[in-house]
Amino acid sequence: MWKRLFLVLAGLFLGLNINARILNYPRSQDIITLDPAIQWQYYTSEVLSNIYEGLVKFKGTYYKLSPLLAERWEALEGGKKWRFYLRKGVKFHDGSPFNADSVISSFNRQKGKKFATMKALLPFLKKIRKIDDYTVEFVFEKPNAALPSVLANPFAFIVKADKNGKISVGTGPFKLKTWVKGKYVLIETNRDYWGSPPEIDGVRFPVVKDSYLRVLQLKNGNADVLSRLSRKEYEDLKNQKGIRIIKFPKLDVNYITFNSSRPPFNDLRVRKAVTLLINRDRLVKLVFGELAEPVSFPVPASLIFKLKPAGYNPQEAKKLLVQAGYPNGFSCNLIYLKGSPYGDVVNMVARNLLEANILVKPVALPCNKLMRSIFHGDFDMVIGGWVADVPEVSNFIYSRSFPFSPRVPSKSPYYNEAMKIISEARNTLDPVKRKELYTRVIRKIMEEYLTVPLYRSFHVVAYRERIEGLEVNPKGYVLFRKVKIKEVKD
């Protein structure tokens, strides 16, 4: 008790917002680098999204594209070339000009193993060439239909390196003031920003690992923003006076994938039976409350044409198990990432399957062992998920637990056919035709019951009502450029 009291008092003291125009946004983790191209961590990307900018950005809570450092763009030669027309009059934080050379050098430096993201998201890129001082062209070996969306991701932020290759300079509305590793990051307003500069003076991101302290700081006004709320935190704050909530669904899917190369899941009837035994509605209600919703497709439904999903039907499931030769059920394992939120989900799934005498052994594995088990096919079922980098079905295919992932050796007889269709779709500029091709692949996954779609989760951000203009992009990053602070009367 005394330890908790000390933590509370210390947290309140450290969280005091001495300058009301510097917002306080406590988070559980620190950033890991100032270089957006060598990381894919949420906490880092969120801070860097306020410092750096890309050629384009995702606008609003969905993946709608909007111009940023590029004013417009166009596809040439069926998508083998993309030409971007750059914004003039933009300067980096150090006062140097932004131009075509800046774009080319920012991408050309991304070579070697530590820059794996660019290689993964920009396959078949031959070169980026300068047309003139404010026009650049991306040239590919094959058409790339999704390029503009890809360039809205953090690895594609335009940065300036010093002579030692150190990155801390961008063109964004805020610039780095201080980073005390493990303690806090402070960003200050870029008064020379090419657009309308922020009205606040900056944002402080302190590391506060205790969730109780973070919530307490928001309640008493010593914090201004909280995000990635747990169900308990959300329910504690949603009706709190003086606090507002932003909540919207992620473009993500969480699902179970079967190892269809070995018994019992090499039998379609067994895979279908397990699918019919899982009550998604009840699972989501009990585990997540209002912070998730059940899904019926292995990718977001908006990315494919409507298909007919399987529902909850335990009686039909039991009949299928009898037909497959498992009238008394069987035993199997279900592996998942240790320390992830999947533990409670796995337990609910195990209870559902017990209705048909299927005994599920939950196995929590650290990331390296989980990936090794998936790669070698050493599992019965695996639970995983994927949040979109870009609003494309092909992006979900690269999840390591997805049945057609090219990152793992697949013994699925449908793998080669699926990858051909996916490749064709990625090279097709027509969005309707691309959707048709992706739907063919997803239909096959559903007809063969290769995955059990479970749920998609929600981004949740809580903030003090004195704040106006807070933005949250579809990846859940909180953006502060348009924030204004108003007086709130009691």
Q: What pLDDT, in 10s, does the model give residues 379-420?
A: 999 999 888 888 989 888 877 778 877 766 666 778 888 889
Pair (316, 438) in one structural domain: yes
Shortest CA distance to 136 belongs to which of 169, 98, 99? 99
Please, which residues have CB within 8 angstroms of residue 460's CB and are 6 or more apart in sequence? 227, 228, 229, 234, 245, 246, 247, 291
164/261 same-domain check:
no
Q: Which of 142, 168, 194 is the last residue of a domain?
A: 168
Indicate whether 445 and 308 sit together in one domain.
yes
Tell me phi and psi for residue 402, to 5 degrees.
-80, 140
Supply the CATH number for residue 313's domain.
3.10.105.10
pLDDT for the residue 15: 43
Residues 128 and 261 in one domain: no
Number of domains comprising the chain? 2
pLDDT of residue 18: 44
Residue 356 and residue 262 share a domain: yes
Residues 452 and 321 in one domain: yes
238 lies in some domain:
no
> Contact at 8 Å (CB) between 179 and 167?
no
Tell me the C-alpha to C-alpha distance, in Å, between residue 75 and each of 83, 104, 124: 6, 18, 16
Same structural domain, 148 and 266: no
Q: Which of 168, 199, 216 lies at the terminal end of a domain, its last residue?
A: 168
Report CA dihedral (107, 110, 115, 119) to the nearest 10 degrees: 60
Are residues 256 and 136 part of one domain? no
Query: Does residue 445 sit within a domain?
Result: yes
In this prediction the pTM is 0.88
DSSP 8-state assignment for residue 71: E
Which residues in the chain come in under a pLDDT of 70? 1-20, 407-411, 488-490
Answer yes or no: is 425 within a domain.
yes
Farthest CA pair distance, the chain: 73
138 and 264 belong to one structural domain: no
331 in any annotated domain: yes
Q: Are residues 135 and 257 in the same domain?
A: no
Bridge partner residues of 217 (DSSP): none
- Would you give the DSSP letter of residue 477? -
Do 149 and 297 lie in a common domain? no
Q: Do 341 and 252 form a contact (C-beta atoms < 8 A)?
A: no
Q: Are residues 276 and 130 in the same domain?
A: no
- Assess if residue 221 is contained within a domain: no
Tell me whether residue 48 is in a domain. Answer: no
- Please say which residue of 168, 200, 221 terminates a domain: 168
DSSP string of 446-466, one letter each residue: HHTT-EEEEEEEEEEEEEETT
Helical (H) or strand (E) element with 382: strand 381-387
Angle in degrees, CA 352, 301, 312, rounded to 5: 25
Q: In sequence order, what are the residues at sequence separation of 6 or more whose Cβ sits closer than 8 angstroms to the Cβ of residue 159?
A: 35, 36, 37, 52, 106, 167, 169, 170
Per the structure, the complete domain to which residue 340 belongs is given by 252-457
Give percent above pLDDT 70 in the chain.
Answer: 94
Has residue 256 been placed in a domain?
yes
- Residue 388 confidence (pLDDT): 86
Whether 381 is in a domain gets the answer yes
